[in-house]
Amino acid sequence: MLLNKVIEKDNLDKTNAWPFVEAKKLLRERKSFITKKGKIILQTGYGPSGLPHIGTFGEVARTSMMVNALRQLTDTPTEIITFSDDMDGLRKVPENVPNQELLNNNLHKPLTQVPDPFEKFSSFGEHNNEMLKDFLNKFNFEYNFQSSSVLYKGGFFNPTLQIILENYQGIMDIILPTLGKERQKTYSPFLPISPDTGKVLEIPVLEILKEKSKIIFDNNGKKLEVSILDGNCKLQWKVDWAMRWYALDVDFEMYGKDLIESAILSSRIIKLIGKTNPSGFAYELFLDERGEKISKSKGNGITIDQWLEYASPESLSLYMYQNPKRAKKLYKEIVPKTVDEYLDLIEKAKNQNELQLLMNPVWHVHNGLIPKEDTIMSFSMLLNLVETSNADSKELLWKFVKKYKKNLLEKEHPIFDNLIGYAIKYFNDVIKLKKKYKTPNASEKVALEALVKSLGGCNDKMLPEDIQTLIYSTGKENGYTENLRDWFKLIYEVVFGDENGPRMGFFISFFGVNETKELIKEKIK
């Protein structure tokens, strides 16, 4: 992916946009390793025990933003490995998939050995992997997908697994102090795959046969002798993470705040077996509207597909860019605010110098190629327009918009054209269901009737600011001198069924003076 131009070194040195900060840190910490291999490898991890969610996308999007920064800082080639831990055992049945009984009957088997409940692929793991790849491809991400099952069974991990076995006791000395007394008795870094049931077993070790690359386990009183190679065993999570870093020679990986302790232990393990841990970046977690962590198995929050029904991929990327080290709520009502921020940042970019552009999130969203399109109106305003115009298709809403903005051409406004479709969908799916229109009392009705009368002295050629001033004056003259906020809240609740709404002067200048008068009259009948 090409950048539009080379940024001046002085500006690269000065910017404190987080992708550049982290890229510089990576180049500093891994300088000798990167120079030796002539490549920078960044990894993102995915556990396909449930359908891909926005957190998964966020990891790839943010890592891609770092790659964009790296390409301004160095000529060294970069690669993002998107790794799927699909040999992990299915621990619980996700709530948001069909055929629950089928999955329940295959608990603890590697995800690539669990039948696909959607009956589309050879396994549940493969189904979720393909969903992830399809999604990442829609965003044109550059990545190298790697499957845990393929690398274990194909022998790629064999040399590193033997190193892990050679350092078995050292790894136990790192992990055991972090476990409870009962867990210490049964813990093993290696998890054998049962030759009888196909399940991933968590059973104690009886004997290590290093020269044969085998382990003898205690399987409920029976000896189970298993090779650690070729996918006959997999590693426990923290050891597996370190092994992956070692085998794939990873230079950077970001991870959720909940994995900080795991990252510390995995870093100690990779140092024990002979390499230095990659640079890391711990991001805060995504929460749903109740403040609960978003979970693949629960399917809470907003899904990737839902966001893309209501807003552009670029708006989702913007949401991922902003404040990665702050916990963020992620649900449907977040969408309009994020879209409006996106439009506002595009407008600001038009008058920014190079250093300011590097601090503008849309530079990172668009990899330096920021759209030049002029903003016609905010997404919030467009949502109000969907309601007041009763438009139920893009064609109808475009006709309504062109009634007041006659010179607009769809082909010159692709962002706005898409926005119209998103607004109709979002209004009908989300806003319409929550509308609560206020019935004004006697004094409130008098105030609104006074507003209709005041608008009688306006015309469609008046500036939005002048109309706004007239609305202020009407409010002051009708009992809202002390609190104009309550005046506008009244208008919004009666006209739009919400406590908040558009800047009325702008809305009226676009929607039309007579149309607004009729709209208010209709609402206060």
User: 259: which 2 tokens?
Assistant: 């994995």
Gap between the terminal Cα atoms of the chain: 58
User: 481: which 2 tokens?
Assistant: 């001198």
Per the annotation, binding residues are: 296
Q: Element (H or E) spanning 338, and its range? A: helix 335-349
Per the annotation, binding residues for ATP are: 296
CB 128 within 8 A of CB 299: no
- Residues 420-430 as b/e (b if ≥16 CB within 10 A, e otherwise) read bebbbebbeeb
Phi, psi of 80 (to 5 degrees): -100, 120
CB 130 within 8 A of CB 121: yes
Three-state SS sequence of 493-511 = HHHCCCCCCCCHHHHHHHH
Residues paired with 222 in a beta bridge: 219
User: 212: which 2 tokens?
Assistant: 């044969």
Vertex 55: Cα angle to 52 and 56 (nearest 5): 50
What's the rounded Cα separation, in Å, for the pair 199 and 449?
A: 73
What's the rounded Cα separation, in Å, for the pair 121 and 141?
A: 23
Got the DSSP string for 56-101? HHHHHHHHHHHHHHHHHH--S-EEEEEEE-TTSB--S--TTSS-HH
314 residue type, one letter: E
Q: Within 274-430, where are the H helices?
A: 304-310, 313-321, 335-349, 354-359, 361-365, 379-389, 394-404, 414-426
> Would strands 252-256 and 233-235 be described as parallel, antiparallel, or unpaired?
unpaired
| DSSP state, residue 230 | T
What's the rounded Cα separation, in Å, for the pair 346 and 340?
A: 10
Q: What is the largest CA-CA distance in the chain?
A: 95
